[in-house]
Each structure stands twice: as structure tokens, then as C-alpha cells.
Amino acid sequence: MTSNEIRQSFFDFFESKQHTIVKSGSLLPDAPNLLFTNAGMNQFVPIFLGQANCPYTPGRAADTQKCIRAGGKHNDLDDVGLDTYHHTFFEMLGNWSFGDYFKKEAIDWSWELITQVWGFPAERVYATYFGGDDISEADLEAKELWLRHLPAERVVPGNRKDNFWMMGDTGPCGPCSELHVDLTPNGDCGAGMVNADSADCIEIWNLVFMQFNANVDGSFAPLPAQHVDTGMGFERACSIIQCTQNFTDFSGVISNYETDVFTPIFNALAEMSGKQYTSTLPADPAKQTEQEAIDVAFRVIADHIRCLSFSIADGIIPSNEGRGYVLRRILRRAVRYGRTLGFTQPFFFKLADTVVESFGGAFPELVKNHARVSKTLKAEEESFNRTLDKGMDVFDAILGSTKSKTIDGADVFKLYDTYGFPYDLTELMAREQGMRIDEDGFERLMNAQREKARADHASKKSVVLAEDGGFDADATPFAGYETTQLETEVLDV
């Protein structure tokens, strides 16, 4: 199956179970405390909270939701390019019950879809359930339901972090049950590899059973209605189906990047750069061969162009504050990886054409906003290109003159302030050299600059700096809105 067919078969399956197929919500969330939409349930929060009526009869929906996890509570940016299954931008397939069906149907349908419709070998699947702790009881109901499909050794209890889902400190919440797939050549990874953050056994689907409301005092009360909220990693499902030739061969590389979700972007990149992707995975960024560095660059750039294209199409524009600065950081990171592939002129914006071509059918907003995406990317890229080479020379000079293993905060600040190097880009470059950076020193200088900007602003002299929330942009609570009154003009290098 192509990825488009896999997505469609998910919709068809849930449509056959009386679900209304709905459109993905925007990447720009309604909730002010979120940087980006990061889960399928975001657009349905008002229904779960009882603030909006469920518009579907029966109360069932399914969709693919555009998600970004590159800041705030869910931040997978550091893994991107170094593993095979975490992206900044990804699609989360989901099915929902709003006070309609509950655990039994959710579990049985997930099982039916993956094993009967798609053909996942049952003997490679693990299911987890909430194992209980001093706050809440174990979800033995889910355990029993899974035992109808799986042997006891593959029904595994999990802890609060992995198997009890909360939207925040308060609000709808409940235990969750997840499906994990053994991807080792012989299918013998063992239950210990579940939730071990390993490519040998990856999580594909999370089924959340919303049955409690978390109160302010920390207690849990049963909700008047019980809901189901599921999320499946679309690219992960594609990788398992496609890279194993429909589950017939688990001996090769199983990677999201080796699916038709990414190959068109890789092909365009190979053609433009004259370099080839060979798909090795380096264990340590500081010990890469030249080809491994090229492979990482392919993965990072392909990931980042999807993130930027989809965001800009949804009206989130790179800037100096809040979520816009997260995007600018991601773009600058991609441009710098472009140097690894030999690009010295703008190249990144051209890949947007491939993204629009590949995903414009499922997401027409990409087609509609194609021109804006390309134009915005090109301008951003040109502007960063003007200081990137000089900044990289400065970085090399700093390395040459540093005797310790830590790069001085003042140097990191100089790269940020004069050459437009986001903190995390410098950190990444340092990591590649086996070095660390002096975060406290950098933060002190940033704070001093923010203070100065505030003072200047207050005295209406000149406005220099936006508080970007930048290198540690934490989405909860999101600080950006407090600072939007500050004009933003610095750093447009």
C-alpha cells in the first residue's frame, strides 16, 4: 500500500464503524497554552470538557491530525535525524468516541484494523495497560480485554508516565493502552523492550480512555460521560507496512524515512545536491563518518521542510517570538545542515514544491498557500545565508581557541546576537564536536539583553529585542503572548 492508501484505509475502516471523517485541525491551536497542535485530541477539547456539544451522530469521529512536537511539553526536536521514528511534524491518525463506545470497542477495533485489515503479525504486537500506582487503580478492564487477543506475556503493565494520560494538571484524563511492535529480524525483542525508546520495538498507537476529571485538589472524579481518544503515528504505520513488504521481511532497515512519505523529498534532495542517501544510523553524533553526516542531513532537512511547509500554510510564520521563533530555529537548522550537502545558495524553499505535490491531495491548504510557503521560505533562507558562513567561521575560531570541553556563554551569545545562530543550533554544532555549551552564561546575557530591551521600550527610545521564549520555549505556560506588544526587529540578519 502507498501511504495515501494506508491513510485512506484508516478512514474507510472507521467509516465502516459509523465514524464521521473530519478534517485535521490547524497546526495553530486554539488553546493559548500550546505552541503548536501536538495531538489529535486538541481540536476536540471543548467537547470533552462539555463546553461544546458533539456534532456527530453517533458520537464518533476519525481523522488525521497535523501535529508538531518541537517545543514545550512535547519536544522531539533533538531526536530528529538521529532516530528513525520521531519527527517534528507528523500525522496522527485518530478515532474518537464522545460519550459513545468505550474500552471494548476501542481495543477490538484497533486490533481488527492492524491485524486483519493491515495484516500486522499478531505475534509481534505488545499491548500495554495502566498498571496502577498510589494515586489510581490498575486498568484491569483493559488488561482483560487485551488478553482476549494476546497471550499474557505480551500484555504489559505500564507506569503513570506512559499509561495514564492527562491533558494538563486538571481536566479530563484517564488510563491509556498502547500498541507496540517488535521490529527485530526474528521477532524476539522481549517485553523489556516495550517503552525502552528503541527502534527494536516502537510504539504505534495510543488508546486513551477518558473517564476521570482531575480536580484542582489533585483528586479524580468520574466523568459524567466516558470518551475514547486514540492517536496512531501515521509515518510509523507506513514504515512497518512498507519496509517489511507487507510483513514478509523484517531483516532490513525499518525507518519512517524509507517510505513514500519521505522518498520523493529525498529524491529531490539527491538530485539537487548530487549526494546520495545510504540510510546508516550513527549512534553518536560526535563520531560520524562523512556519509553518516550526509544521511543525518537528509533526514533532518526532509523532516524540517514538512514542518515548515505545513506551518506556513496554516499561517504560522517564522519570526522572533514564541512559536514563530521555534519555526525560525528549525529553518536555520535545516539551512545549516544544507551546508553538509554542499548547498551555499538557497535550496530549502525548492523542496516545498515536493511537499505540496506529495501531500496536497490530503491537505489542500498546501496547494492553496503554495506561493506563500515558497516565498516565505526563500526570504528566510536568503536572510540567514548572509551570516551563516561567517558565523560558522566564528564557531570554528571559538573551537580552535577553547581549551576546555565547554563553549563559553559569551561566545554562544555572540553567535546568537550577531550571526543569528539560535541557541540550540550552536548546541547541536557543539555536540557534533563532543563539546557542551555554557547554558547559564548564555542565559545571563540573554536576560540582561531582555531587561535592556524592556527598559528601552519603557522609555520609548528604541525597541531592540523580542523576548523570543527562544531556546527553551516552554509552552506551558506559553510566554509569547505577554511579549507580543514588544516590537520585534532585532536578529533579522
Query: Could you say whether residue 206 binds Mg ion (CB under 5 A)?
Result: yes
Residues 363-392 that bind Mg ion (CB under 5 A): none
Residue 154 contact among ligand ATP, Mg ion, none, beta carbon within 5 to 8 Å by kind: none
Query: Could you say whether residue 228 binds ligand ATP (CB under 6 A)?
Result: no
Helix, coil or strand: residue 237: helix
**Taking every pair of C-alpha atoms in the chain, what is the biggest distance, in angstroms?**
71
From 60, 87, 103, 336, residue interacting with ligand ATP (rule: CB under 6 A): 87
What distance in Å separates the CA atoms of residue 59 and residue 50, rounded to the nearest whole number?
13
Closest to 223 (Cα-Cα) out of 236, 215, 213, 231: 213
Q: Which is nearer to ligand ATP, 174 or 233 (CB)?
A: 233
Closest to 427 (Cα-Cα) out of 397, 472, 386: 472
Query: Could you say whether residue 204 binds ligand ATP (CB under 6 A)?
Result: yes
Residues 230-269 that bind ligand ATP (CB under 6 A): 231-233, 235-236
Q: Which is nearer to ligand ATP, 211 or 255 (CB)?
A: 255
Residues 166-205 that bind Mg ion (CB under 5 A): 203
What distance in Å separates the CA atoms of residue 406 and residue 430, rounded to the nearest whole number?
9
Query: Could you say whether residue 92 binds ligand ATP (CB under 6 A)?
Result: yes
**Which residue sits closest to ligand ATP, CB atoms considered?**
233
Question: Which are the contacts of 342, defined by CB distance < 8 A and separation ≥ 6?
Answer: 273, 274, 275
Dihedral (Cα; 125, 130, 131, 135), 10-degree rounding: 170
Binding string, residues 26-65; x marks residues near ligand ATP by CB under 6 A: ----------------------------------------
Min. distance of Cβ 383 from Mg ion in angstroms?
32
Look-up: residue for cell 490498575? 138
Which triple of cell numbers denotes residue 401? 581557541
Please give the single-letter amino acid code of residue 216.
V
Q: What angle do CA 410, 415, 421 make, to 5 degrees?
A: 135
Residue 192 DSSP one-character state? G
Residue 90 contact among ligand ATP, Mg ion, none, beta carbon within 5 to 8 Å by kind: ligand ATP
- Select the span of 48-56, 125-133, 152-160, 203-211 touching ligand ATP (CB under 6 A): 203-211
Using CA atoms, how far residue 257 sits from 214, 302, 351, 353, 389, in Å, is 39, 9, 16, 18, 29
Closest to 174 (Cα-Cα) out of 164, 183, 185: 164
- How many Cβ atoms from other residues are within 10 Å of residue 32's Cβ? 10
Residue 99 contact among Mg ion, ligand ATP, none, beta carbon within 5 to 8 Å by kind: none
Q: Which is nearer to Mg ion, 203 or 314 (CB)?
A: 203
Residue 204 contact among ligand ATP, Mg ion, none, beta carbon within 5 to 8 Å by kind: ligand ATP
Residue 7 contact among ligand ATP, Mg ion, none, beta carbon within 5 to 8 Å by kind: none
Min. distance of Cβ 106 from ligand ATP in angstroms?
14
Closest to 93 (Cα-Cα) out of 15, 40, 37: 40
From 129, 205, 250, 384, residue interacting with ligand ATP (rule: CB under 6 A): 205
Helix, coil or strand: residue 233: strand
Please give the single-letter amino acid code of residue 155.
V
Query: Could you say whether residue 211 binds Mg ion (CB under 5 A)?
Result: no
Min. distance of Cβ 300 from ligand ATP in angstroms?
13
Which triple of cell numbers denotes residue 189? 525483542
From 3, 24, 97, 206, residue interacting with ligand ATP (rule: CB under 6 A): 206
Min. distance of Cβ 443 from ligand ATP in angstroms?
27
Closest to 71 (Cα-Cα) out of 484, 469, 490, 415: 469
From 10, 13, 90, 325, residue interacting with ligand ATP (rule: CB under 6 A): 90
Query: Could you say whether residue 239 binds Mg ion (CB under 5 A)?
Result: no
Phi-psi region of 443 (alpha: psi -120 to 50; beta: other; left: phi over 0): alpha
Type and span of the H or E element at 179:
strand 171-182
Min. distance of Cβ 206 from ligand ATP in angstroms?
3
Query: Could you say whether residue 256 binds Mg ion (CB under 5 A)?
Result: no
Q: Which is nearer to Mg ion, 83 or 314 (CB)?
A: 83
Q: Which residues bind ligand ATP (CB under 6 A)?
A: 69, 76, 86-87, 90, 92, 203-206, 231-233, 235-236
Q: Which residues bind Mg ion (CB under 5 A)?
A: 203, 206
